[in-house]
Amino acid sequence: MAIPSTFMAFRIHNDASGYRSGIEQVAIDDLAPGEVVIKTAYSSVNFKDALAGTGQGKILRKFPLVGGIDVAGHVVASTDPKFKEGDAVLATGSGLSETRDGGYSQYARLESKWAIPLPAGLTLRESMILGTAGFTAALALLRMSENRQSPELGPLAVTGATGGVGSLAVDIFSSAGYEVHAISGKTDQAAYLKSIGAREVLGREVLSTTRPMDTARFGGGLDNVGGPMLASLLAQTAPYGNVASAGLAAAADLPTTVMPFIIRGVSLLGVASAGTARDIRDEVWRRLASDWKPRHLDAICTAETALEGLPAVFERMLAGGSHGRTLVTF
């Protein structure tokens, strides 16, 4: 398939004219080098994308760059024999919209070492409803499982449960056989959270304790907010349970003590999805396409947008007015 001389992309600049982003025409040689060129079918909107697109977070390390940390589509050209025209592939993180051009473009150029052949069991659309958010949630479960987490230890808590990572974690964890307790300040979304797999929906006040140790209430969990809520979750985790830290929506600090670690043997596991090694990345996507595949992807995809709608989506997300996942369609 011939690649057009120019095509549309959502590009981010930071120069003498200030920080700005928007749709513009680009050529394939404007994009970061890579062995695989795809015609984009879908991307998605993550909190990180909203920060990058508005300049409210220091995400990009060079300018200008095309935004979008997720992308999926079909190969139209490849200099790597492992990929041929027509292959369905996806990519998440791996420097996209950070050090190289991302997925908010009608065509994307990828490094073959980070291009993932679409796993059997997923469509391209499903892969981008998952995207970095689903990958992060599944990576957290993989890390916890490798550290002997089991349903017998007790329910898994998910903080920031209505967000992209949180929603997918609720679904993935329940699909994997865990009882899930969703923790959210959005009380109006309780029905949504139960519909995607939460056994209980709890307000933020359950994680308001400032004690270094409290009654063990959870077998472990995934935290997306940081700060005092993460400290409280650690204090309420059962012996030898695992808490995965994947976000800092509330705060970057952690006001805790070593007591949960040395008295109950609780483990705090870091989840850094962007730079995950390829072998782990392949395993996470294999699980997402099989036994950990969420059962409610259509319900979690609460909005769709074209490139033109991205600024409004960013604004709504940063204001806390969104839930679930927003799919970008081409």
Q: What is the pLDDT of residue 33?
A: 97
Q: What is the pLDDT of residue 25?
A: 98
CATH topology of domain 132-270: Rossmann fold (3.40.50)
CATH topology of domain 7-118+298-329: Quinone Oxidoreductase; Chain A, domain 1 (3.90.180)
Residue ranges covered by each domain of the chain: 7-118+298-329, 132-270
**Confidence category of residue 2, pLDDT binned at 50, 70, 90:** confident
Write out pLDDT tens, residues 280-290. 999 999 999 99
Pair type for strands 301-305 and 325-329 = parallel
Q: What is the pLDDT of residue 6?
A: 98
Quick check: 249 pLDDT over 90? no
Q: What is the pTM of this model?
A: 0.96
